[in-house]
A and B are shown apart, each in its own frame.
Chain A
Amino acid sequence: MRIAIAEDSGLFRSSLALLLRSLGAEVTVSVASGTELLTAVRDNPPDVVMLDIRMPPTFSDEGIRTAQAIRGLHPDTGILVLSTYAETSYASQLLETVRSGVGYLLKDNVTDADALMESLERVAAGETVIDPAIVRRLLGRKRKPSVMDTLNEREVAVLRHMAEGRSNLGIAKELYLSARTVETHVTNVFTKLGLTPSDTENNRVRAVLAFLRSAGPQQ
C-alpha cells in the first residue's frame, strides 16, 4: 500500500513513517503541511493520504480543507485524518464534505498497529472509518429524545459498527450474527431513519451522518 503523510510534528511524522514501513506499507510522501502534500501527490496519487487535522499556517482545520481538496483531485485516494482531539464536530465536518473512503482517527491509537492497518485498508477500499473513542462518546452521550431512540439495542450496535466503517460481513463477525440478520437490522435502521433502502452505500454514510448529527451541533 502506498501512503502519503502530512504532519507538522517532525518526530511523530518520522515515527509514523517508520511504523508504516514496519507494517509493510510504502511511504511515498512525508511532508509537514497540507499545501506540500497537495503538490506532492498531484501527479502521483497514493492509495491513502494520512494527514494531521491541525497544521500550519493557521493550526486550525487545515487537515479537513486539504482532505476536501484531495478528494476533489483524486476521488479514488483514501483519506485518513489524524487528530489529537476526540471532537465530534470535526468528525462530522469531515464526513459532511468527504463522504466515503474517509476516516477520522485519534493519534493515540497508533499504538494499535493492527487497528491502524485495518483503518488504512478500509479507507483505501472506500469505506468510512470513525475512531471507536468518538463513537463511544457519541453513544455515551445523553440526548434529548430523537429519532435515534426508536432504534432498539441491536440496531444501535449495528449502527455503531457501521459508523466505525465495518461492512455487513464485518458487523456480522463482530456481533456473532448471520449476515442476513445484520442485513435485516441495517434495513430497519435505514427505514427508521427515513432512508430509502435502494442506495445501500450512500445510505450507510447518511445513517452515520444522522448518528453524528444527533450528537453534533443542533440546528
Chain B
Amino acid sequence: MRATIPSLALPGNSPWRDSAARGREGTRWPARLAIWHARRPWLAATAVLIAVAGFCALVQGPQWRSFLPLATVNLAVSLLFVFTGLMLGREPGQRVTAWALMLAGVFRSIDFIDAWHGPWSAYTLVFGGVDRIFGAWALLRYPNSALSPLYRRYLITFAVWMLTGRTLIAVTSTAQWNAAWSASWWPTLIPDQQLSNLLNYVVHSGEGVGGLVLMALLIIRLKQARGLDRIVITPIIVAGIAAVVAAIASAAMMTLSLADTPNEAYLTESVVDFAIPVAFLIAVLQRLLLIRNVTELTAQVTAGGDLDAVRRALRSVLHDPTLDLLDTSDASLQALGSHSPGRLVSYIRAGHGTPIAVVIADPVLARYRELFDAATAASGLALQNAQLQARMAQEKLEQVKASRARIVEAELAERRRLERDLHDGVQQHLLGITAGLTAAKARTADPEAAAAIGQAGEGLKAVLAQLRDLAHGIHPAILSQGGLDAALEEVAERLPLPVSVHAPPRRFDAAVEATLYFVACEALANVVKHADAESASVTVRDGESTLEMEVADDGIGGLAAAAGNGRASHGLANMADRVGALDGEIVIDSPPGRGTRLVVRVPCA
C-alpha cells in the first residue's frame, strides 16, 4: 500500500500513520491528488500554488488597478495559507486542518470578488466571512486529529449565525444601502432600511462576540495544553488571537468610519492575517526540530544509558515530566500497565524480540507518534547497549570471582600438601630415629651411653613437638581427616575458656571447611585476647543453600571494646577476604557490654 503520504523529512514510515491514512480515503480525488502528491511532492505543490495564485489573482480582478497593495497582500496571504496547508497535510492526522487552512486561504481572496461588481457584491456580503470559519476551524483543531464537541458546536453556531444573519441583511436591503455599485444585482426581497440597519448592527455585533468567544477558547486551549502540545500550539494561538483582534478592530473601524476607506482597514487586517500561516509553519518546523532532538537523545544516552538516564533523557526530549520508563523485569509492571488508564503505554523491544522496557507517557504524545517512536527506538538502543555493558561487567566479575576461588583452592591444596609432606616425610623419619634410639638405649649396658641416647631422644621429642605445631599451623590434619566439627572441637580444647561447639558431623567442601575453620580460629583468638568473656560458642548451621557459622561470646562487646589496634582490624580484613573469596559474607554484631556475635554465611552446594 504505497498510496499513503510518505513523510517529507522524517526517517521511515510510522506504521501508526499508515493505518490512519489507510481505508478512509480509497480512491476519492483528494486521495488521487495525494498519490500524485506523494510521487512528485514539490511538483504537485508548485502546481497547486500556481493554480491558486491564478485563481486568487483572477477573483480580485479590478482590484489590481483600484488598490494594488491590498490585492498583492491578499494574494500573498492566500498563497501562504495554501502553502502552509500543503506542508501541514504531511503531518499525521492533520489532513482536515490542512484543508481548512487551504480553504481559508482561497476564500480570503474570494472575499474580494466584489471588485468585479455585478452579483458578486451580494456574494461578498453573505459569504465574506467563510474564510474566518475555516481559519477558526484550523486554529481549534490543530494539532488534534478531531474537533472536540465544544469546538464543533462553536463553529456551527458561528457559521449559522453569520450566514443566516448576513442573508437576512441581504434580503432586507438594496445594493445602494450596502455601498455597492448601484448597478449590481441584489437579492432584495423585503426592502426595509430600518430593519436592514438593525440586522446589520445585530449580526455584526454577534460576529464580534463570536470573535471574543474564539479568543477565550484559544486562551483556554493554551492554558490547558501540556508538554509538546504547548510548545507547538503557542505561536498558533498567539497568531489566532492577533488575527481575531485585527478582524474586530477592522470591523469597528469600518462601522465607526475611522479608516479613510474600507480598503485600508482590510489591508491592516490582511497584514495581520499573515501571522496565522506563519505560526502554522513555525509549528510544522517545530515538530521537525523536535525530531532532530531525538538524535541528541541518542547521543546522550548511548554513552552510558542506565534506566534512570534514559528516563531523564526521554522526559526532556518529549517534554513530558510525567513519563515513566520501567524495566520489564519489574514484577509490578503488569499492574502498572493496567493501572495507567488513559496513559500512553508502549513497549521497547530489543530488536524484534522480547520487551526490555515499557514507557508510560502522557497520551498527548500519541499525536507526536514519529517523534515518540524515534525517541523510544533510540532509548531501546541505549538500554540494549547498557544491558550488554552490564553483562560484560557481570562476566568480568564472575571471572574475577572464579579466579579468586581458584587461588583459594590452590592455596589450600598447597597447604595440605605441605602438611602431608611434613607428616608423612620428616615427622615419620624423626619418629623412626626416635624409636631406633630407644632400641639402642634398650640394648646398651653402658649407663653413660644410655643417658646420652636418652638425651638425644628427648631432644628429638622436642623437635617433633615443634614440627607438629608447624604442620598444624600450615593446615590442621584434623580438619582434612575429621572434618569441621572435629577440628573446631580441637580448637576449643586448646582455649583457656569454655567454648561449646555445635556443628553438624558431616563434611563440606574443603575450601569451605578451611575458611570457616580459619575464621573460627581468628574470632576465638580475638575472644581470648580482647573480649574478657566467661564463655564462648561456635555454632555451625547447615542451611539449604548457605552454611552459617556463628561465633559468639559473653564478653564486653563493642567489637571487643574496639580492639582498636591495627592487628584486630587486619585480622578482620583477612577474614572478610577469605569469606569473600567464597562469595560469602561476614556480619558482626557487637553492642557494648553485650558480647560479640560474628556470623559468617557462605554458599554451599
Contact at B428–A19, with CB atoms within 8 Å? Answer: no
Give the nearest-CB partner of B423 in chain A: A84
Q: Indicate if the CB atoms of B429 and A11 lie closer than 8 Å.
A: yes
| A window 134-189: CB within 8 A of B | 137-138, 141-144
Main secondary structure of the interface of B (DSSP, over half): helix
B461 touches A108 (CB 8 A): yes
Known: A54-B481, A59-B424, A87-B486. A217 touches B434 (CB 8 A): no
A1 within 8 A of B: no
A110's partner among B434, B489, B490 (CB-CB below 8 A) is B434
Q: What B residues does A89 contact at CB under 8 A?
A: 478, 482, 486, 489-490
Nearest CB in chain B: distance from A155 CB, A: 21
Asked if A108 and B439 sit within 8 Å, CB to CB, the answer is no
**Interchain nearest-CB distance for A80 vs B (Å):** 14
Interface size on A, residues (CB 8 A): 41
Contact A85 B489 (CB under 8 A): no
Query: Are A22 and B478 in contact, with the CB atoms below 8 A?
Result: no
A138–B492 Cα distance when bound, in Å, is: 11
With A15-B439, A54-B481, A85-B477: A9-B498 Cβ-Cβ less than 8 Å: no
The answer on a CB contact under 8 Å between A111 and B428 is no
Task: Give the chain A neighbours of B501 by CB distance below 8 A.
Answer: 217-218
Question: Quick check: is B435 within 8 A (CB to CB) of the other chain?
Answer: yes
Interchain nearest-CB distance for B395 vs A (Å):
39
Instruction: Kindly state the separation between the CA atoms of A210 and B468 in the bound complex, as whole angstroms.
Output: 28
**Contact present for A142 and B432 (CB under 8 Å):** no
Contact (A218, B434) CB under 8 Å given A12-B428, A84-B423? no
Cβ–Cβ < 8 Å partners of A23 in chain B: 442
What is the minimal beta-carbon distance from B494 to any residue of chain A, in angstroms?
Answer: 8
Q: How far is the CB of A49 from chain B (nearest CB, A)?
A: 17
The answer to whether B490 and A87 have CB atoms under 8 Å apart is yes
Q: Is the CB of A88 closer than 8 A to any CB of chain B?
A: yes
Does B493 contact A113, Cβ atoms closer than 8 Å?
no
Check if A73 is an interface residue, CB within 8 A of chain B. no
A60 in the interface (beta carbon within 8 A): yes
For residue A91, give the distance in angstroms from its CB to the closest CB of chain B: 11
Q: A22 contacts B443, CB within 8 Å?
A: yes
What 1/0 mask marks residues of chain B from 418 to 434 whose CB sits below 8 Å from any chain A CB? 00100110011101111
A14 within 8 A of B: yes
Bound complex: CA A44 to CA B443 (Å): 29
Q: A18 contacts which of B428, B436, B477 (Cβ < 8 Å)?
A: B436
Instruction: Report yes or no: B435 in contact with A12, Cβ–Cβ below 8 A.
Output: yes
A 183-203 contacts with B by CB, 8 A: none
Q: Decide: A19 and B436 in contact? CB cutoff 8 A.
A: yes
- Is the CB of B76 closer than 8 A to any CB of chain A? no
> With a CB–CB cut-off of 8 A, which chain B residues contact A15?
431-436, 439
Which residues of A are found within 8 Å of B460, using beta-carbon distances?
111
CA distance A59 to B482 in the complex (A): 11
The answer, yes or no, to whether A125 is at the interface (CB within 8 Å) is no
CA distance A10 to B493 in the complex (A): 33
Within 8 Å by CB of B489, from A11, A13, A216, lies: A216
- Selected from A60, A112, A143, the residue in CB contact (under 8 A) with B481 is A60
B441 part of interface (Cβ distance < 8 Å): yes
Q: Which of A90-132 contact B (CB under 8 A)?
A: 90, 107-108, 110-113, 116
A89 to B434 CA separation, bound complex (whole angstroms): 26
* A137 near B493: Cβ-Cβ < 8 Å: yes
- For the complex, is A69 an interface residue (Cβ under 8 Å from B)? no
Chain B positions 428 through 456: 1 when the CB is less than 8 Å from some CB of chain A, otherwise 0: 11011111111111110000000000100
A19 and B420 alpha carbons, distance in the complex (Å): 26
Q: A142-B497, A217-B505 are in contact. Are A87 and B432 (CB under 8 A)?
A: no
Selected from A14, A144, A216, A217, the residue in CB contact (under 8 A) with B432 is A14
Inter-chain CA distance A19–B431, complex, in Å, is: 12
Cα-based distance from A111 to B490 in the complex (angstroms): 25
Contact (Cβ within 8 A) B438 A218? no
Whether A215 is near chain B, meaning CB under 8 Å from some CB there, is: yes
The answer to whether A40 has its CB under 8 Å from any CB of chain B is: no
**Is there a chain A Cβ closer than 8 Å to B457's Cβ?**
yes
Q: How far is the CA of A11 from the CA of B495 in the complex (A)?
A: 35
Of the A-B pairs whose beta carbons lie under 8 Å apart in the complex, a sample of 23, sorted by A's number, is A8-B424, A9-B429, A9-B431, A11-B433, A12-B432, A15-B432, A15-B436, A19-B435, A21-B439, A22-B443, A84-B423, A84-B427, A85-B468, A87-B478, A87-B490, A108-B465, A111-B437, A111-B457, A111-B460, A141-B492, A144-B498, A216-B489, A217-B503
Inter-chain pairs besides A89-B486, A141-B493, 16 sampled, C-beta below 8 Å? A10-B432, A12-B428, A12-B435, A19-B436, A22-B443, A88-B489, A89-B482, A107-B434, A108-B461, A108-B464, A110-B435, A111-B434, A111-B458, A113-B438, A217-B489, A218-B501
Which B residues have a C-beta under 8 Å from some C-beta of A?
A: 420, 423-424, 427-429, 431-443, 454, 457-458, 460-461, 464-465, 468, 477-478, 480-482, 485-486, 489-490, 492-493, 495-498, 500-503, 505, 535
